[in-house]
């Protein structure tokens, strides 16, 4: 009987993953190649598939099989992990009606279309109705999940991205960052930024694309198990460790946009390609959390991609593609230029000092929305007020502000804080990698990125979902989630670049 129950679990997990992969494929296509008039049909296709996926997960037969197998003392460690994670997902899913899942899927597809139209027109009101509906639906989903003990509605959504994270833990952590970052940015802003005029002008898209592919190759992205495309908002989608799709975006007057969005998404992709292939048909072949996922993209984008060692290796290749613009630029000049600090409007183009302030802005708005403290049509004004307060800048139109991110069109409330969590994890992981590999930076300076990729694969990627995210980080580094390492990293890096003394890390920085 136990054997039959286990077969039921395995086959159902495989079917759920297959359906999820098809949903991801249709979503990827919608953002890359689907014609605009395909939105209506795509909405129904996604609703049908996500409904089927939900029905598989809540099937009483699966619940009976899990209950039977869960009492078996002979389960291996991996089998126990599968049951633990499947129970978590199923218990959440059983609280949500299938009709709600389908309606969210339909609304997401429509919202992606209206968001794109609103961005082009720079008018939030074209997106407002779909966003209002998504907010209502996500509130309903959060209420169906139920707030964790002692928690609130937002925790129920946050739990889907960062297992075990709560507003009561997250708010003090982000407040610590805010308390350090705001004065740090003010101090840095009193000093002139490094020169960067050589990054102005025209940088042909074909050559930018060539450099993006060169970077992917150096990082070890397997092009036989993935591909690079273009989209409005860069993203990574994985259907399997051997089929991982990433996108970048290219602006001919902003050459660094494609560079760092490519590195960022490749960091995500390396995680996906490094997941345990032996578990590809079950729930363990997925990331432990989105915070840990973001740690990989942010580590590669910033701690590696904005380092002097990295550009010692890769600036010559970049100069060969753009000899007129960059041919006479010294590596020290280029390193300083890519580490300019300037409060700006667009999160994905933000420097790493101000970046978390963008995340804090979105977190505060999301929290207000889920608490029913902010009407959707008042979001642009609230956004602009917070942008002024945190960053000292105000959008001139909605595309520079509330419409810049795709996440709310996807209905991803609770996701944004994982960017900040990822930043914190990235510094802790890099500190550990440096301790274990004293020659790490000279090796990167030679353009050899494999040792770091392999260290991350051993310590992060290969575990998939067999362990919780913070357990993976703590096992690899000796530390859990904390702000000390990240603040220390910023101090060590930016004090010499700008010739300043930045504040010490607050005593409350640790959230371990």
Going by C-alpha positions, the residue among 301, 304, 393, 378 that lies closest to residue 135 is 378
Phi-psi region of 340 (alpha: psi -120 to 50; beta: other; left: phi over 0): beta
Quick: pLDDT tens for 41-50. 998 999 899 9
CB 319 within 8 A of CB 334: no
| Dihedral of the alpha carbons of 122, 189, 352, 171, in degrees to the nearest 10 | -80
pLDDT value for 506: 78
74: pLDDT confidence band, cut at 50, 70 and 90? confident
DSSP state of 243: E
* pLDDT 10s digits, 255-264: 999 999 999 9
Each residue of 5-14: pLDDT tens digit?
889 999 999 9
Strands 243-248 and 226-230: parallel
First to last CA, the chain: 43
Report d(CA 84, CA 82) in Å as an integer. 6
pLDDT at 31: 85
Q: CA 215, CA 128: separation in Å to the nearest integer?
A: 38
Inform me whether the pLDDT recorded for 510 exceeds 90.
no
Percent of the chain past pLDDT 90, that is, above it, reads 90
Predicted pLDDT at 134: 97
Tens digit of each residue's pLDDT (9 = 90 or more) over 271-310: 999 999 999 999 999 999 999 999 999 999 999 999 999 9
What sign has the CA pseudo-torsion 445, 447, 450, 453?
positive
User: In 10 A of CB 300, how many CB atoms?
Assistant: 29
Give the pLDDT score at 71. Answer: 82
CA 237/CA 268 separation, integer angstroms: 9
Which residues contact residue 17 at a Cβ distance below 8 angstroms, ignoring those fewer than 6 apart? 280, 281, 282, 283, 285
pLDDT tens, position by position, 300-357: 999 999 999 999 999 999 999 999 999 999 999 999 999 999 999 999 889 999 999 9
Q: Which of 68-77, 237-246, 332-341, 447-456 has the lowest mean pLDDT?
A: 68-77
Q: Please, what is the average pLDDT of the chain?
A: 95
Q: Confidence band (pLDDT; 50, 70, 90) for 1?
A: low
CB 300 within 8 A of CB 452: no
Maximal CA-CA distance, the chain: 73
Instruction: Pull the structure tokens for residue 108.
Output: 């997401």
Q: Which of 467, 466, 484 is nearest to 425 (CA)?
A: 484
Nearest to residue 335, comparing CAs of 317, 355, 309? 309
Reading the block at residue 341, the tokens are 């600090």
In 59-97, which ranges are continuous DSSP H helix? Answer: 60-70, 77-93
Poorest-confidence range of 24-38, 361-375, 472-486? 24-38
C-alpha distance from residue 73 to each of 70, 78, 156, 194 (Å): 8, 13, 31, 63
Q: Which of 31, 85, 103, 265 is catalytic?
A: 265
CA-nearest of 443, 417, 115 to 293 is 417
- What is the model's pLDDT at position 395? 97
Active site residue 265: yes
Give buried/exposed letters for 379-416 (b at 16+ CB in 10 A, else e): bbebbbebbeebbebebeebbbbbbbbbbbbbbbbbbb
Q: 227 in helix, strand or coil?
A: strand
pLDDT above 70 for 465 = yes
State CA 368 to chain mean position distance. 22
Each residue's pLDDT tens digit, 93-137: 999 999 999 999 999 989 999 999 999 999 999 999 999 999 999
Q: What is the pLDDT of residues 201-257, one digit of tens each?
A: 999 999 999 999 999 999 999 999 999 999 888 899 999 999 999 999 999 999 999
- DSSP letter, residue 273: H
- What does the pLDDT read at residue 4? 87
Confidence of residue 508 (pLDDT cuts 50, 70, 90): low
The tokens of 98 are what?
Answer: 């299938």
Q: Considering only CA atoms, which of 302, 293, 317 is closest in space to residue 260?
A: 302
pLDDT band at 512 (very low <50, low <70, confident <90, very high): low
Q: What is the pLDDT of residues 162-209, one digit of tens each?
A: 999 999 999 999 999 999 999 999 999 999 999 999 999 999 999 999
What is the reported pTM? 0.93
Q: Count of residues for the chain? A: 512
- From residue 65, give the alpha-carbon distance in Å to each of 6, 96, 466: 7, 20, 20
| 469 vs 187: CA distance, rounded Å | 34
């Amino acid at each position: 009987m136990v054997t039959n129950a286990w077969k039921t679990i395995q086959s159902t997990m495989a079917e759920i993953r297959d359906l999820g992969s098809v949903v991801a494929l249709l979503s990827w296509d919608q953002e890359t190649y689907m014609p605009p008039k395909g939105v209506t049909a795509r909405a129904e296709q996604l609703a049908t598939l996500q409904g089927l996926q939900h029905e598989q997960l809540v099937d009483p037969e699966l619940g009976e099989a899990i209950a039977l197998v869960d009492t078996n003392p002979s389960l291996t460690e991996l089998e126990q992990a599968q049951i633990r994670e499947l129970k978590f997902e199923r218990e959440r899913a059983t609280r949500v009606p299938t009709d709600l899942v389908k309606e969210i899927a339909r609304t997401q597809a429509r919202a992606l279309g209206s968001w794109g139209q609103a961005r082009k027109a720079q008018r939030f009101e074209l997106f407002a109705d779909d966003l209002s509906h998504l907010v209502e639906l996500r509130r309903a989903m959060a209420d169906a999940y139920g707030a964790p003990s002692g928690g609130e509605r937002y925790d129920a959504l946050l739990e889907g991205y960062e297992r075990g994270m709560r507003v009561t833990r997250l708010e003090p952590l982000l407040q610590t960052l805010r308390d350090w970052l705001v004065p740090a940015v003010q101090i840095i802003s009193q000093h002139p930024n490094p020169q960067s005029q050589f990054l102005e002008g025209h940088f042909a898209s074909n050559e930018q694309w060539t450099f993006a592919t060169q970077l992917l190759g150096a990082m070890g992205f397997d092009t036989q198990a993935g591909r690079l495309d273009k989209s409005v908002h860069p993203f990574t989608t994985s259907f399997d460790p051997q089929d991982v799709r990433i996108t970048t975006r290219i602006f001919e007057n902003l050459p660094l946009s494609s560079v760092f969005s490519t590195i960022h998404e490749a960091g995500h992709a390396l995680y996906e390609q490094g997941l345990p292939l032996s578990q590809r048909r079950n729930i363990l072949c997925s990331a432990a959390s989105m915070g840990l996922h973001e740690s990989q993209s942010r580590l590669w984008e910033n701690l590696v991609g904005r380092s002097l060692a990295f550009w010692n290796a890769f600036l010559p290749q970049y100069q060969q593609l753009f000899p007129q613009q960059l041919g006479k630029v010294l590596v020290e000049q280029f390193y300083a230029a890519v580490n300019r600090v300037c409060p700006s409007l667009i999160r994905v183009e933000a420097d790493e000092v101000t970046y978390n302030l963008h995340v804090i802005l979105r977190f505060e708005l999301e929290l207000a929305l889920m608490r029913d403290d902010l009407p959707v049509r008042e979001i642009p004004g609230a956004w602009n007020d917070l942008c002024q307060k945190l960053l000292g800048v105000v959008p001139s139109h909605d595309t520079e502000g509330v419409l810049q991110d795709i996440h709310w069109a996807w209905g991803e409330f609770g996701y944004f804080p994982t960017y900040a969590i990822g930043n914190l994890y990235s510094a802790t992981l890099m500190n550990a990698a440096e301790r274990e590999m004293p020659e790490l930076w000279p090796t990167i300076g030679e353009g050899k990125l494999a040792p770091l990729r392999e260290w991350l694969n051993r310590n992060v990627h290969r575990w998939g979902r067999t362990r919780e995210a913070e357990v993976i980080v703590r096992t690899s580094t000796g530390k859990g989630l904390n702000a000390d390492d990240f603040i220390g990293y910023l101090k060590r890096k930016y004090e010499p670049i700008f010739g300043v003394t930045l504040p010490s890390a607050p005593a409350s920085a640790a959230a371990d």
